[in-house]
Amino acid sequence: MAVRSDWLRPPGAVEESLFLDRCTSCGDCVSACPYGSIRNREVDETPVIFSNEIPCYLCGDFPCIAACETEALLPVGELGQVKMGLAVVSFKVCTAEQGCNACVSQCPTQALTMDFSSFRIRVNTELCVGCGICEQTCKTVNDRIAIKVVPTRLLEVSP
């Protein structure tokens, strides 16, 4: 079985190389997650989220962050400071032109909007935190998933 690379780090995760230095793979954040969204990655036992399976529900008090004693996960002042990834819409697969916009109403940060002039879902990159709730919503109402969350560490960095 191929090793997946589409995993997200939990909310509050520091930059990846620093995260790997700080995380002890203790599993405290995994145990603290009330939804079971966080699990240990098979390769190195570090905590990850597979948003296409169980998204991060962005708990108000972030028990995963509170459980981390090594500062691999740092407190966030507000929801918008969480940056796990970015939702990307495949317009070839998206059924917005057929009237679907279920993902828009489920987005906890209002990062998704329906552009009625083009009948496309738009992602506000400033508001999207990469929780995967849109991906999960799309999965439940469509045959094919039109929204996928790209992990922050895989996003191209602009010079």
DSSP sequence for the chain:
-PPP---BPPTTBPPHHHHHHH-----HHHHH-TTS-EEE-TTT--EEE-TTTS-----TT-HHHHH-SSSSB---SSGGG--SEEEEE-TTT--GGGT--HHHHH-TT--EEEETTTTEEEE-TTT-----HHHHHHHHHSSS--EEEEEGGGSPPP-
Q: State the distance between the two ends of the chain, measured CA to CA, in whole angstroms.
A: 36
Asked if the structure places residue 41 within a domain, the reply is no
Q: What does the pLDDT read at residue 1?
A: 64
Asked if the structure places residue 6 within a domain, the reply is no
Q: What does the pLDDT read at residue 3?
A: 79
Q: What does the pLDDT read at residue 136?
A: 95
Q: For position 93, which CATH number holds?
A: 3.30.70.20
Over the chain (159 residues), what is each successive 10-residue block's mean pLDDT? 87 96 98 98 95 95 97 94 96 93 96 95 97 95 93 73
Asked if the structure places residue 159 within a domain, the reply is no
Q: What does the pLDDT read at residue 155?
A: 84
Between CA 48 and CA 109 the distance in angstroms is 21
Asked if the structure places residue 14 within a domain, the reply is no
Asked if the structure places residue 11 within a domain, the reply is no
Asked if the structure places residue 75 within a domain, the reply is no
Between CA 140 and CA 68 the distance in angstroms is 32
Contact by Cβ (8 Å): 104, 94: no
Q: Which range of residues forms the domain containing residue 95?
A: 80-153
Between CA 26 and CA 71 the distance in angstroms is 13
Asked if the structure places residue 85 within a domain, the reply is yes
- Cα 115 from chain centroid (whole Å): 23
pTM: 0.91
- The total number of structural domains that make up the chain: 1
* Amino acid of residue 140: T
* Amino acid of residue 105: S
Asked if the structure places residue 44 within a domain, the reply is no
Q: What does the pLDDT read at residue 159?
A: 44
- Given the structure tokens 């009237």, which residue do they identify? 99
